[in-house]
Amino acid sequence: MMSNCPRRTAWRNAITPWVTLAALAAPPVSMATEGALGRQVTGTNVQPNAGIVSPEPIWAVNFAQIYLDGKIGGSREVPVGGRTSLGLDGKVAFTLATVLKTWDTGPGRWNFASSFTLPYVWTKVDSKLTGPGGRTVGQSDTASNLFDLYFSPIIAGYHFSETSHMALSLNIWAPTGKYNANDMANPSLNNWTFIPQAAYTKIFPESGFQFDTVAAVQFYTRNNATDYRNAPVFSLDVMGRKTFSNGVSAGLILGTQQQLGSDKGPTADRLNGFKGRDWALGPIVTYDTKLADKRSLSLSLRWVPTISSTNRLDSTSTVMGTATLVF
């Protein structure tokens, strides 16, 4: 049991500099659903201390870079811009800047935060479209611009104990990026996406091990430009790490995306709902250090290649690097 005592105060002071928060892992776009493109990249949604909302009021700034290069085999039709492509090759690079504020709610088991993410995207799509007379025509398209804005108006953290924590949040993507239904590559999905999310962290201080997991469901509105609505998608990322005394940790991440129904719309109906799923597995390395004036710096690098995929980009090159400053 936690209480308002010196032990609790010591716990607060010790954990605050290391908090990263699930919201700082603002998940970028991944390959799924329409255009084989959805809102989350499998294996990148979970972060160290994902279930912890700082018990002290802090500001945190996070920069993340994500790159993936994947494909769907040429025997499968993929919905793209109201048309279909026989297979799809996609490259995506995201740069995300996130600002997070935890609010001064005083002592207690509950703490609250809010966050905002500004994403920039570069993407290249190579497709094979059916042209006049039924001939297959290759087409390549590239886009680079600000992507859809992402924000979490409320993140509620609950501390079960000094080593067990949970964070609940509602994450929202707004269709603010430029979109053209005739383009293969777009810096927007042209829909609102609402993602209720639950994160949990369990710390084993005696052994230096830590367990983090993030579960979410993505709910999409219709893309009015193509009359296509993505079905809800369930995502789960699990991470286990061993932390060493020099601030370095190493571990593994296992993630999955599972579409919960069939997509809707004329193109989706012709493709029998284009229901998709995938799994990813890979290593992560992190480094944490304290700076002057109660600030801290956290760095991480992960590689989470696809190990199984249906109707999603199969990528062996999914890499994510992050840097977080807490002050």
In the chain, the domains with their CATH numbers are 6-326 (2.40.128.130)
Question: What is the per-residue pLDDT for 18?
Answer: 47
Kindly report whether the global pTM for this prediction surpasses the value 0.85: yes
Q: Is 36 within 8 Å of 14 (Cβ atoms)?
A: no
Please tell me whether residue 185 adopts helix, strand or coil conformation: coil
- Confidence at residue 127, expressed as pLDDT on a 0 to 100 scale: 73
Question: According to the model, what pLDDT value does residue 130 have?
Answer: 60
Task: Provide the CB-side half-sphere exposure for 89 (13 A, CA).
Answer: 9
pLDDT at 288: 96
Q: What angle do CA 104, 289, 157 make, to 5 degrees?
A: 30
Q: Which two tokens stand for residue 183?
A: 């383009």
Identity of residue 137: V
Cβ(54)–Cβ(96) under 8 Å? no
Residue 214 has pLDDT above 80, yes or no: yes
Token pair listed for 282: 């890979």
Q: How many CB atoms lie within 10 A of CB 283?
A: 12
* pLDDT range class, residue 73, cuts 50, 70, 90: low
DSSP state of 232: P
Instruction: Give dist(CA 154, CA 115) in Å, integer.
Output: 8
Phi/psi for 18 (5° steps) reads: -100, 0
